[in-house]
Amino acid sequence: MVNRQVVLAAHPQGVPVASDFRLVEAAVPVAGPGQMVVRNLYLSLEAAIRGWLDGTANYFEPIVLGGAIRGPSIGRVESSRLAGFEPGDLIFGLHHWEDYSLSDANTVLLRKLTPNPLLPLSWYAGALGGSGQTAYVGLHRIGAIKPGDTVLVSAAAGATGSIACQIAAIEGCRVVGIVGADEKAEVVRETLGADTVINYRKEPDLAGALVRACPEGVNVYFDNVGGTTLDAALMAMAQGGRIVGCGMISDYNNAASPTPLYNLWQVVERQLSLQGFLLYSYLDEVPAASAALEAWLSAGRLTVLENVTEGLSAAGSAYSAMMAGTTIGKNIVCVDQT
């Protein structure tokens, strides 16, 4: 038995390409005291991983050249010397892109899954995993949405944005989405319940388009993108509006020269709050978020947009496509069971 791993072959220059990743073979790990071996089933592709590929630290250690790519996964416990975990248990945690991972009590985000058998397991890596939980916590805890609010969501067809749009719509908000393709706009409008959707690639004056789409002003901007999109959104905020800093993906592929913001004065003039958050700091809110998301999914009120790539060896190219912005919904790799 070998443990196939996807490792970092080169620091990406801009958008990652498939050759920045390489498949290698290593020994299958053996659980020591307090450890367990997990067979990875689904990898959750995350925008945040891009920040770990440049060789500089952010809120996590960088991934070194030749090191296995780190990311959340769903797995099944193969063998365990960790109290509370038995072979066969399904778990979620921050592992590596590999067949078998070593896990212990310090594994970030580690939790046992008790999936609803009526729902696909892969959903626990997306809508019922970090993406859905981030949308829920960001809108409620940071954005404090209430019925009647105008809620603007960027990267609205993505993993986090697609759930944010639907939660806001379910809770009686008027939803305006920002996307980068007409195909995405149609999905966000027709399937996710958005009132209006703007394709930023077709709007030379994005701020003007947002003001026209939100004549009363934006009460809550759920910002996945940062950069020029955030700059434009600042010009469309209502007095006292709230900006939820979820992510700034537009700068992840060019972290060395981030986009300048010109409209920050609007924070003062419009008395805005602008608060960033990381889901890792709100883990106490995850059970409530998961329960609400699962109830909506079971009732058919939430639609899951999922883009599943088959095979560990395709993880690098799948990630490249995601970071190029060509995909819709949650990007997941189904690890082939060799």
Ligand X SMILES: NC(=O)c1ccc[n+]([C@@H]2O[C@H](COP(=O)([O-])OP(=O)(O)OC[C@H]3O[C@@H](n4cnc5c(N)ncnc54)[C@H](OP(=O)(O)O)[C@@H]3O)[C@@H](O)[C@H]2O)c1
**Interacting residues toward ligand X by CB under 6 A:** 46-48, 130-131, 134, 155, 157-161, 179-181, 184, 224-225, 246-250, 253, 277-279, 322-323, 325, 327
The residue among 73 and 131 lying less far from ligand X, judged by its C-beta, is 131
Cβ proximity to ligand X: between 36 and 155 the closer is 155
Least distance CB 220 / ligand X (angstroms): 15
Supply the DSSP string of 146-199, one letter for each residue: -TT-EEEEESTTBHHHHHHHHHHHHTT-EEEEEESSHHHHHHHHHTS--SEEEE
Least separation in angstroms between CB 228 and ligand X? 9
Count of alpha carbons within 13 Å of 294, Cβ hemisphere only? 19
Q: How far is the CB of 155 from ligand X (least distance, A)?
A: 4
- Distance of closest approach, residue 158 Cβ to ligand X, in angstroms: 2
- Comparing CB distances to ligand X, the nearer of 99 and 306 is 306
In angstroms, give the least distance from the CB of 325 to ligand X.
4
Give 35 or 160: the residue with its C-beta nearer to ligand X.
160
Alpha-carbon span 243 to 254, nearest angstrom: 23
Q: Could you give the C-alpha distances from 188 to 158, 161, 183, 192, 199, in angstroms and in order? A: 10, 10, 9, 5, 11
Residue 318 corresponds to which tokens in the numbers above? 């799948």
Q: Which is nearer to ligand X, 47 or 286 (CB)?
A: 47
Q: How far is CA 108 from each of CA 105, 132, 233, 304, rounded to the nearest angstrom? A: 8, 18, 33, 25
